[in-house]
Amino acid sequence: MSKAGSTTSTAITGSGVWHPETVITNAELCDAFNVWVRRENDAHAAEIAAGTRTAMRESTPEFIEKASGIKQRYAADKVGVLDPDRMVPNIPDRPDDQLALQAEWAVNAAKLALAQAGREGKDVDLVVLGTSNMQRLYPALAIEVLDALGGTGSGFDIALGCSSATMAITLATESVQLGKARCALAVTPEITTGFLNFRDRDSHFIFGDASVAILVEPLAGARPGSYEVISTKAMARFSSNIRNNQGYLNRCDPAHRDDSDKLFYQQGRRVFKDVVPMAARFIGEHLASAGVAPTEIARFWLHQANSNMNDLIAQRLIGRSATALEAPLILEEYANTASAGSAIAFSKYSDDLPSGAYGIMASFGAGYSLGSLLLRRT
């Protein structure tokens, strides 16, 4: 755990959420998926009848909502996703002299965070871009974002699965604490529909697209209503239960380049069982080390993968279910936005707390990776 001591105290002075306007409902997603399933089963009817192949099963909106709490998701493109012949979003390549799509989404969210903090792009002196899946290897997207905003200083990308956003905010915070930056932007553009396997019944409904930005500055001079960063915590335990083998070496083995393991896949039930106790213990330990009781926390901005998971984690921490305001959910509207979820929950549900109130932002998932920030409203 890192704690502000003789270093500069920091605060989150602004945040912003941007998402594409296009919505895909559970019903639309299932309709397209089920057309594809029926086609596949028709095409392999003889093998299915002979018992040499298992018939694929259809997906239902009822299951999706009950199992996860998701009702819809925003998407970069729905035409390609809902076309049973394609089931991949249409995202055209851009020439190198145009802003990359992921950088564009980062800038969209960054502008909102800067406006809330009363800052301009030229004030930014560090961009930490953290996302579960990076559009390219280099040049770093963070540097492109810094340039597009008109900022100075430096920028770097980090990838930590579901904890990419909380780690980006932590690194931005530590840079300000150490005096290496004074206006540090942590930004998380999650174009999740690009890595989602829309032909996998177990996971085709999970993700949605969105971008979130958080601005960190010295506490002294922070606008009233900012959130002081009291302490941060991170933890990792290796697991392949959530995995994506997409990478630059894929082309070296053309026979397996397009296999389904080059997209997101998971053992969802195992993840659920592993992560609920792990996340509850992790958050509890963070609070204990800061001398704050879970019942003193006015708001839990939790990772947004599954509403049932969040309910169980809250129950373990405070001994009862959290109310909708104590542990807000964005899943219904956004679905799982990979690492962006807890930061989006923070951005959308942080205006109403009184001065002095504690809140904790916490992520948990792929890696396994966990990250948390204990915050107090100024």
**Site for ligand COA, rule CB under 6 A:** 59-60, 63-64, 67-68, 162, 201-202, 242, 266, 268-269, 271-272, 275, 305-306, 309, 336, 338, 365-366
Rounded CA-CA distance 78/20 in Å is 11
> What is the four-CA torsion angle of 309, 186, 101, 153, rounded to 10 degrees?
-160
Residues taking part in catalysis:
162
Six token digits for residue 20: 């594409």
Q: Nearest distance from residue 197's CB to ligand COA, in Å? A: 12
CB of 128 within 8 A of CB of 333? no
Cβ neighbours of 313 (radius 10 Å): 27
Pull the structure tokens for residue 162: 């579901």
- 149/160 with CB nearer ligand COA: 160
Peptide bond into 368 cis (omega under 30): yes
Please, which residue, 154 or 267, has the CB nearer to ligand COA?
267
Question: Can you say whether the dihedral through the CA atoms of 167, 269, 300, 109 is positive or negative?
Answer: positive
Q: Name the residue nearer to ligand COA (CB basis): 165 or 172.
A: 165
Cβ atoms of 305 and 161 closer than 8 Å: no
Name the closest residue to ligand COA (Cβ).
Answer: 268
- Which among 131, 209, 205, 199 has a CA at the least distance from the CA of 165? 131
Provide the minimum distance between the beta carbon of 91 and ligand COA in the complex, in angstroms, as a whole number: 21
Instruction: Give the nearest distance from C-beta 62 to ligand COA in angstroms.
Output: 8
Residue 336 vs residues 6, 207, 219, 272: alpha-carbon distances, Å: 38, 5, 31, 14
Q: Pseudo-torsion of CA 247, 253, 258, 261, nearest 10°?
A: -60
Least Å distance, CB 143 to ligand COA, is: 27
CB nearer to ligand COA: pick between 30 and 103: 30
Question: Which residue lies nearer to ligand COA by CB, 59 or 102?
Answer: 59
